[in-house]
Amino acid sequence: MAADRAASFDPDALSWYEATARQRVLALTDPGSFREILPPTERRMSPHLPLFDLPRAFDDGIVVGSARLDGDPVLVAAQEGRFMGGAFGEVHGGKLVGLLRAALELKPRAVLILFDTGGVRLQEANAGETAIAETMRAIVDVRAAGIPVVGLIGGRAGCYGGGGLIAGTCSRLAVSEGGRISVSGPEVIETNKGAEEFDSRDRALVWRTMGGKHRRLIGGADAFCADTVAAFRAAARDLVGRAPALDLDTLEAEQARLEARIDRFGDCRDATDVWARLGVNDPESVPAMDTAAFDETVARSPEADHDAR
């Protein structure tokens, strides 16, 4: 069934942003190769949501399993942003942590994490937060074992809160225009610090500050994709093949890279100021650039490509 459905998707036409977690996984990996672990039929649901009179999902908002990518065995986790904003609850987190721990035994070619999350699920906040810490530890273990962990970000919920920290722990990240990576979301900043600090209704500001193009230009992501599954697939294949090691040299390089970023851009008020300082001729035009024009701009950004992650 799953394989039949996968065959009916055209990855070139399927929007990553619009697709469900299962559609993304099935169209991203080799046709017929995905085998889901703890599938919805097992009904591993949150024991906590009924206390809040909230509906549950049979998969708790995350799809995990094994598959092949161009013939290579991979493990895949995909968050479902449509269920509670893809947020980390107890079962959701346990599935991701289990998958990463399994990678240490199975030694796949890579682990792919398809982020689509608002962060911690508040109704299960302590479990979600602890799961995020467990996930980060597990990712570091997997990377140290020589297995790349590649994050793909382009869903409706973005990659916020603890999800942003997990993303920063991955070997490589691919992001699309619709993808956003951030710790505090726009509404969180506005609620805590006021609209003069961050006006969450200013969508253009949100995209400039946290969106895929800004992250790619400053080296916060390693690939920028058009919003199709095919583009994410190509990026994933490429990034798996050039993942940096997790060792002291890499982290010293990342320290230097991030310190240099703050030295260089620490007084910038807006992303357009950062882009101007990066040498972008017409910073105001960046948000409207198509992928090809943006790729050319990235090629001229000295900060964009590095092995310091």
Partner 1 sequence: MTLAEILASLFPQGHAVAVRDGLVTGTGPFAGGRMHVVGVDGDTPLGVDGALVLSRAVLDAVRAGDRAPILVAVDSDSQRMSRRDELLGLNECLAHLAKALLLADRSGHPTIGLIYGHSAAGAFIATALATRVLAALPGANPSVMDLPSVARVTKLPLDTLKDMAKSTPVFAPGLDNMVATGAVHVVLDPDRPLEGQIRAVIDTLPAEDVRDRLGAERGGRPVARAVAAAVIEQARLG
Site for partner 1 in 202-241 (CB under 8 A): 209-210, 214-215, 218, 220
Strand 62-69 vs strand 35-37: parallel, antiparallel, or unpaired?
antiparallel
Q: Do residues 67 and 33 lie in contact, with contact meaning Cβ atoms separated by under 8 Å?
A: yes
What is the spatial distance between Cα 271 and Cα 75, in angstroms, rounded to a whole number? 35
What is the spatial distance between Cα 206 and Cα 243, in angstroms, rounded to a whole number? 29
Q: Do residues 178 and 227 lie in contact, with contact meaning Cβ atoms separated by under 8 Å?
A: yes
Select from 68, 82, 237, 261 the one that contacts partner 1 (CB under 8 A).
261
Q: Interaction with partner 1 in 134-163: which residues (CB under 8 A)?
A: 134, 136-138, 140, 144, 161-162
The angle that helices 203-210 and 186-193 make with each other, rounded to 10 degrees, is 110
The residues, any chain, with a CB within 8 Å of residue 124's CB and separated by 6 or more, are 46, 48, 49, 88, 89, 90
Residue 68 binding partner 1, by CB under 8 A: no
What is the spatial distance between Cα 57 and Cα 55, in angstroms, rounded to a whole number? 7
Select from 93, 154, 155, 212 the one that contacts partner 1 (CB under 8 A).
93
Residue 245 binding partner 1, by CB under 8 A: no
Residue 128 binding partner 1, by CB under 8 A: yes
Residue 276 binding partner 1, by CB under 8 A: no
Residue 85 binding partner 1, by CB under 8 A: no
Select from 97, 223, 286, 304 the one that contacts partner 1 (CB under 8 A).
97
CB nearer to partner 1: give 180 or 233: 180
The site for partner 1, by CB under 8 A, has a size of 83
Provide the minimum distance between the beta carbon of 255 and partner 1 in the complex, in angstroms, as a whole number.
6
Provide the minimum distance between the beta carbon of 237 and partner 1 in the complex, in angstroms, as a whole number.
22
